[in-house]
């Protein structure tokens, strides 16, 4: 019983979730009103006719600023956000593999096929993101409009003109392609090495798994994580930037990845797999979940406070768009409660970290909270007056079920679910804390 079998009842559940997602999406499309009141439209029109550069900033901060967000904008923004969210979860899975292997980790050996399977889904989400970027880059990214760079015209934007040395389509696609290729290479390398370790474990393979981990850490931190967040997410609001943004994204991704790993462990254990995985392994994953949710809160708060404290008015645009209670205030503060307050107080004790129900509850809370946090990073510039609703939940379920389906499909291809031939597996069997 060391190979996972993707049974039909699980498939049926995933299809049901997918169906509910489609239903919510369709409902959301028909009930979409852009969160817009007619009052706001009038205000917006007057703003549009003002030609000062200051207004240009304002319009840019609110997306394109020319019209009320349409269903199309909402769909594009939400799809991009959901794809980006799951792309980052898969990236977090690669990071988990790399970080635990480079640290001579022993405890995770039995469960490391779960992040390995999760990591392989990154290819699907990268393709999805590239399609969105190719087809809808003008809808997503304000800075792609040529008219912003025509000197002497009313639409000329000096700030973006300065930034255009970096923020242009050539750089964008160059980095997108490099990131996609390096993600695919890392996944393939990890998959091949661990598959070979299952069938024919050698010392040389073991050390090469550590070399891949070391390279992956560098590639993830200096290439993928930085440039993916800058170009794919932060540039949606191109006038604003923050050095904490990348940290915050990666922390959010890691804590979501760990939550999903916990859910997969509980699922597999309920199905009778992973016989030697016990409370101690759950405790370790939950400990990381607890720690990284605190780290997420730290970066989230630091990003906010640095701008608040340093009196940089042009940087407050980001929070004016997200914190005010007439647009995303509830979501903004709610995501903090979901991502920090609830996990912090619930997962604090040792017994909570070892309990099945409590870890499942916290994992679900964190996944929802991080989805909201990712939505707040990506969507408010395009949907300035609110828009987190049925479309977002529908797309979360749709891409979530695709993610789970692909993960379990790849997990079924793994020959040795518990890596029972890995040199450190004994350490994992005897793990005791």
Q: Which residues bind other proteins (CB under 8 A)?
A: 301, 304-305, 308-309, 311, 432
State how far the Cα of 281 lies from the Cα of 262, in Å rounded to an integer.
10
Cβ-based nearer residue to other proteins, 270 or 310: 310
CB 394 within 8 A of CB 24: yes
State how far the Cα of 377 lies from the Cα of 388, in Å rounded to an integer.
12
Min. distance of Cβ 120 from other proteins in angstroms? Answer: 37
Place of tokens 């979360």: 396
Beta strands in 38-107 (DSSP E): none
State how far the Cα of 118 lies from the Cα of 267, in Å rounded to an integer.
14
State how far the Cα of 219 lies from the Cα of 213, in Å rounded to an integer.
10
In b/e form, how buried is each residue of 62-79, taking b as 16+ CB within 10 angstroms?
bbbbeebbeeebbbbbbb
Cβ-based nearer residue to other proteins, 116 or 244: 244
Kindly report the length of the chain. 433
Among residues 325, 399, 338, which one has the least CA distance to residue 372? 338
State how far the Cα of 97 lies from the Cα of 103, in Å rounded to an integer.
10
250: its two tokens? 């990666």
- What is 93-160 written as a DSSP string? HHHHHHHHHHTT--TTGGGTHHHHHHHHTHHHHHHHHHHHHHHHHHHH-GGG-GGGG-TTSTT--HHH
Cβ-based nearer residue to other proteins, 15 or 308: 308
Cβ-based nearer residue to other proteins, 102 or 306: 306
117: its two tokens? 């399977």
State how far the Cα of 132 lies from the Cα of 432, in Å rounded to an integer.
46
Min. distance of Cβ 227 from other proteins in angstroms? Answer: 30
What is the Cα gyration radius of the chain? 22
Secondary structure class of 340 (helix, strand, coil): helix
Min. distance of Cβ 4 from other proteins in angstroms? Answer: 33
Cβ-based nearer residue to other proteins, 307 or 406: 307
Min. distance of Cβ 376 from other proteins in angstroms? Answer: 18
Min. distance of Cβ 305 from other proteins in angstroms? Answer: 5
CB 187 within 8 A of CB 122: yes
Min. distance of Cβ 308 from other proteins in angstroms? Answer: 5
Min. distance of Cβ 302 from other proteins in angstroms? Answer: 9
Min. distance of Cβ 350 from other proteins in angstroms? Answer: 8
Min. distance of Cβ 311 from other proteins in angstroms? Answer: 5
Cα dihedral value 289, 321, 79, 373, nearest 10 = 10
Cβ-based nearer residue to other proteins, 316 or 420: 316
135: its two tokens? 């087809």
Secondary structure class of 209 (helix, strand, coil): helix
Dihedral class, residue 200 (left if φ above 0, else alpha if ψ from -120 to 50, else beta): beta
Cβ-based nearer residue to other proteins, 297 or 391: 297
State how far the Cα of 318 lies from the Cα of 61, in Å rounded to an integer.
8
Secondary structure class of 368 (helix, strand, coil): helix
Cβ-based nearer residue to other proteins, 304 or 393: 304
Min. distance of Cβ 363 from other proteins in angstroms? Answer: 24
How many of the other CB atoms lie within 10 Å of CB of 44? 18
Min. distance of Cβ 154 from other proteins in angstroms? Answer: 32
Cβ-based nearer residue to other proteins, 27 or 291: 291
Secondary structure class of 24 (helix, strand, coil): helix
Cβ-based nearer residue to other proteins, 33 or 349: 349
Cβ-based nearer residue to other proteins, 10 or 316: 316
């Amino acid at each position: 019983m060391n190979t996972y079998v993707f049974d039909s009842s699980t498939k049926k559940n995933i299809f049901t979730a997918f169906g509910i997602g489609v239903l919510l999406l369709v409902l959301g499309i028909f009930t979409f009103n852009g969160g817009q009141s007619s009052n706001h439209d009038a205000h917006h029109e007057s703003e549009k006719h003002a030609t000062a550069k200051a207004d240009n900033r304002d319009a840019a901060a609110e997306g394109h600023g020319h019209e009320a967000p349409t269903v199309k904008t909402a769909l594009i923004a939400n799809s991009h956000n959901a794809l980006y969210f799951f792309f980052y979860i898969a990236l977090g899975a690669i990071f988990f593999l790399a970080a635990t292997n480079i640290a001579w980790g022993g405890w995770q050996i039995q469960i490391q096929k779960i992040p390995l399977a999760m990591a392989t889904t990154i290819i699907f989400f990268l393709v999805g993101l590239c399609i969105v970027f190719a087809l809808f880059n003008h809808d997503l990214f304000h800075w792609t409009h040529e008219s912003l760079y025509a000197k002497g015209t009313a639409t000329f934007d000096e700030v973006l003109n300065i930034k255009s040395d970096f923020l242009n389509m050539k750089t964008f696609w160059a980095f997108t392609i490099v990131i996609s290729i390096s993600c695919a290479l890392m996944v393939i390398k990890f998959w091949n090495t661990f598959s070979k370790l299952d069938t024919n474990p050698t010392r040389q393979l073991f050390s090469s798994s550590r070399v891949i981990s070391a390279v992956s850490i560098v590639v993830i931190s200096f290439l993928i994580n930085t440039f993916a967040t800058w170009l794919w997410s932060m540039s949606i609001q191109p006038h604003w930037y923050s050095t904490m943004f990348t940290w915050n994204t990666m922390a959010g991704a890691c804590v979501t990845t760990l939550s999903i790993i916990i859910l997969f462990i509980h699922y597999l254990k309920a199905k009778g797999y992973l016989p030697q995985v016990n409370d101690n392994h759950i405790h370790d994953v939950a400990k990381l979940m607890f720690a990284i949710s605190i780290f997420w809160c730290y970066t989230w708060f630091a990003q906010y406070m640095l701008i608040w404290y340093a009196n940089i008015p042009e940087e407050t645009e980001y929070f004016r768009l997200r914190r005010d209670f007439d647009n995303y205030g509830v979501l903004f503060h709610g995501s903090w409660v979901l991502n920090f307050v609830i996990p912090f107080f619930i997962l604090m004790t040792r017994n909570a970290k070892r309990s099945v129900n409590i870890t499942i509850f916290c994992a679900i809370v964190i996944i929802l909270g991080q989805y909201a946090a990712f939505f707040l990073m990506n969507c408010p510039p395009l949907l300035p007056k609110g828009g987190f609703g049925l479309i977002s939940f529908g797309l979360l379920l749709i891409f979530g079920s695709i993610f789970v389906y692909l993960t379990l499909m790849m997990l079924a291809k793994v020959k040795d679910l518990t890596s029972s031939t890995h040199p450190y597996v004994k350490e994992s069997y005897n793990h005791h804390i």
